[in-house]
Amino acid sequence: MGIAADLIIIIVTALGCAVVAKRLGLPLILGYIVAGIILGPFTGGPTVSRGHDVELLAEIGVALLLFVLGIEFSLKELKPVRRIALIGTPIQILACVGFGYGIGRFLGWDVTASLWLGAVISLSSTVVVLKILEGQNLLGTLSSRVMVGVLIVQDLALVPMLIIMPKVGNLASELDELGLAALKAVAFLGSMVLVGKFVMPPFLGRIARAGSRELFLLSVCAIGLGIGYVTYLAGMSFAFGAFVAGLVLSESEYAHQTLSSVLPLRDIFGLLFFVSVGMLLEPRVLVDHSGTVLLLLGCVIVGKGLVFALLSVCFRYGNVIPLATGLAMSQIGELSFLIANSGVAEGALNHDQYSLILATAVLSMMLTPLLARLVAPLYRLRQKLFAIPTLKTMNVEEDALQGHVVVVGGDNIGRFVAEILARFGYRYVVVEDNYRNVETLNKEGHPVIFGDATSEVVLHAANIESALIVLVTPPAPSVVSEVVRLVRTVRKDLPIIGRSDGRQQMGVLAKSGVDMVVEPSLEASLEFIRQALARMEVPADEIIRLSDVIHRDAYAPFAEEMPVQAVPGKLGLSCRLFDLCWVTLRPDAPLVGKTLAGADIRKTTGVSVLAYIRDDQLNVNPDLGVVFRAGDVVAVIGNGPQLASFRERFCEPRVAAERDGAAAAEV
């Protein structure tokens, strides 16, 4: 079966390793890399016969990943990090080249090999970093935008590096070729802007109007991979061309449809990339040169981490950003393999040096997800040990944080809650760690604190000591639980309403100390049912009763956790003791044509009439002489048996007629 058999073996092995990684709480990419090690040519057992073909397919995975990245990140969103990306990245590359040169000389390598080592370690892995940011739901945060901006410029720097490094001893004579490469890049970017503005929108519009999902997917892949191939033919990076194609598409109205179509393909081909990385690892090198590999690995991670952290500080990025960039960007990147291969082809690196570089690169990629998980605990430790600078706040007045509502999360739900609070004149503040959302909230004039709500310092800045209530809108249960824990250490009585991501989590959150949760999928499902039943002419009171029953069952864990003496408990008890129902009077209802006094509703059934709606006007506490008409919507309150008696006597003409007939017969 050739390559088909290899793909089957890779997917099955990767699935098994990914399941194990998931059970152990590790990132899936570690499972993929381990699968590559198992299937590699150096470990025995099942082996992929066409490893080179798999590497070629993996290049498509890298291109698709950068294509999706281009769609998700527009040029406007990268403006806040343009200084560190355009100015800081060249500084970082030169610093890492110098650092790598020092490591090579320390290991006894010659000058040329040491410079090539510095060039190899200067680039970070776009694929690994993006997978980590996506897996931790951090895409869109300011730290992620700093990383992405740097990674993009690093990818751009690959072409001049591949030109410069082979000519490092005679650079002056190659300036013409380097200038030609720069002109090619500028011309390509300019042409892509024109194509994206005048060619792609009408083309995709025609494809979309055809109504074929397959044709749309094929067109999108042709655009992303085709443009990448054109850049490759022009002497630039294939993956960089795919990224630019996505960047251009991000400004079109078809960006979201394109994204949903390409994501499954990206994940499958991305899996092949990580497996191919694992296949490069030669265990013999780890055994025979374990000391050298560990020394090189430690120097790369610590050295690059410090370079990125200091770079972030120099460009005035504070809080968690230096720590996050230092730990997440400290690996050797996939494009570094191209530089290493070029070094071998030029005779600058021998086989042993190349093997050491590959082993270090693979191990650094494997360690990166684990290092990235240390960001949050290390940042909390730093907050406890050192003074933290003042958090960035926007539109927050001095007296605004007194008797206010703290809204955690500034996405669609949190922003809508803030709009309602502002409309009614309540004091509030939004806590948000996604810089994209922070900018949106700031433009709309909402008071916002830029920071992570699971941090004591951030909650202290929101002044929860004087808050009226805390609303936690992110769906992650870990965020809700951590916010509840931190709030309860300050105020035991502060009401907290959280958000549940599924009904199974509601019971867990109830025990964590949250007062109430909102489950968006449940509320959306109920609204679908209400709208559908209303259009099927089901009486409004029946729809309301059904909704109440479902609500009562779904939120039962919170009713069980709350004592009846508490205010919410009393409200829940009152809802169980009596119901408020709205009843629409049909033309043949016995109540039509009668007055409130003449019907004697309260005496005969026990319910009380609170209001009625007629001609879209609400009438509260109706007079005893009001005459009910067909189409009136009457609000009555009572317990279950009383409401059943009211419906039977005044709303169901057939039952009422039979009862009246039976009474007449008795007379």
Structure tokens at 609: 């009439």
Burial of 536 (0-12, 13-18, 19+ CB in 10 A): exposed
Please check the confidence at residue 659 and state whether its pLDDT lies above 60: no
Mean pLDDT lowest among 33-47, 178-192, 568-582: 568-582
Look up tokens 């059970």; give the residue: 23
Please check the confidence at residue 372 and state whether its pLDDT lies above 60: yes
Please check the confidence at residue 364 and state whether its pLDDT lies above 80: yes
Q: Mean pLDDT for the chain? A: 78
The pLDDT value recorded for residue 563 is 44
The pLDDT value recorded for residue 567 is 41
Provide the residue type at 151 as one letter: L
Question: pLDDT class for 638, splitting at 50, 70, 90?
Answer: confident
Q: Give the three-state DSSP class for 204.
A: helix
* Residue 242 falls in which region: left (phi positive, over 0), alpha (psi -120 to 50) or beta: alpha
The pLDDT value recorded for residue 76 is 60
Question: pLDDT class for 140, splitting at 50, 70, 90?
Answer: low
The pLDDT value recorded for residue 176 is 65
* DSSP character string of 465-530: GG-SEEEE--S-HHHHHHHHHHHHHH-SS--EEEE-SSTHHHHHHHHHT-SEEE-HHHHHHHHHHH
Please check the confidence at residue 625 and state whether its pLDDT lies above 50: yes
**Which of 461 and 112 is assigned the larger pLDDT?**
112
**Which of 347 and 260 is assigned the larger pLDDT?**
347
* CA pair distance 350, 554, nearest whole angstrom: 66
- 22-26, 453-457, 592-596 — which one is most confidently predicted on average? 592-596
| Span 257-280, pLDDT tens digits | 777 778 777 778 778 877 887 787
Please check the confidence at residue 252 and state whether its pLDDT lies above 50: yes
* CA pair distance 448, 433, nearest whole angstrom: 10
The pLDDT value recorded for residue 274 is 78
Q: Which CATH number fits domain 392-518: 3.40.50.300, 3.40.1280.10, 2.30.140.10, 3.40.50.720?
A: 3.40.50.720
Please check the confidence at residue 77 and state whether its pLDDT lies above 60: no
**Which of 265 and 2 is assigned the larger pLDDT?**
265
Q: Give the three-state DSSP class for 91.
A: helix
As its CATH architecture, domain 3-168+178-382 has Up-down Bundle (1.20)
- Same fold: 3-168+178-382 with 578-666: no
The pLDDT value recorded for residue 295 is 93
The pLDDT value recorded for residue 296 is 93
Burial of 548 (0-12, 13-18, 19+ CB in 10 A): middle
**Which of 533 and 19 is assigned the larger pLDDT?**
19
The pLDDT value recorded for residue 566 is 43
Mean pLDDT lowest among 183-197, 222-236, 493-507, 591-605: 183-197
Question: pLDDT class for 310, splitting at 50, 70, 90?
Answer: very high
Strands 608-614 and 617-620, by their bridges, are antiparallel
| Span 91-133, pLDDT tens digits | 999 999 999 999 999 999 998 899 999 999 999 988 788 878 8
The CATH number of domain 578-666 is 3.40.50.9100: no
Please check the confidence at residue 575 and state whether its pLDDT lies above 50: no
The pLDDT value recorded for residue 362 is 83
The pLDDT value recorded for residue 75 is 59
Look up tokens 């073996």; give the residue: 9
Give the start-to-end residue ranges of the domains of the chain. 3-168+178-382, 392-518, 578-666
Question: pLDDT class for 338, splitting at 50, 70, 90?
Answer: confident
**Which of 621 and 300 is assigned the larger pLDDT?**
300
Mean pLDDT lowest among 143-147, 155-159, 396-400: 396-400
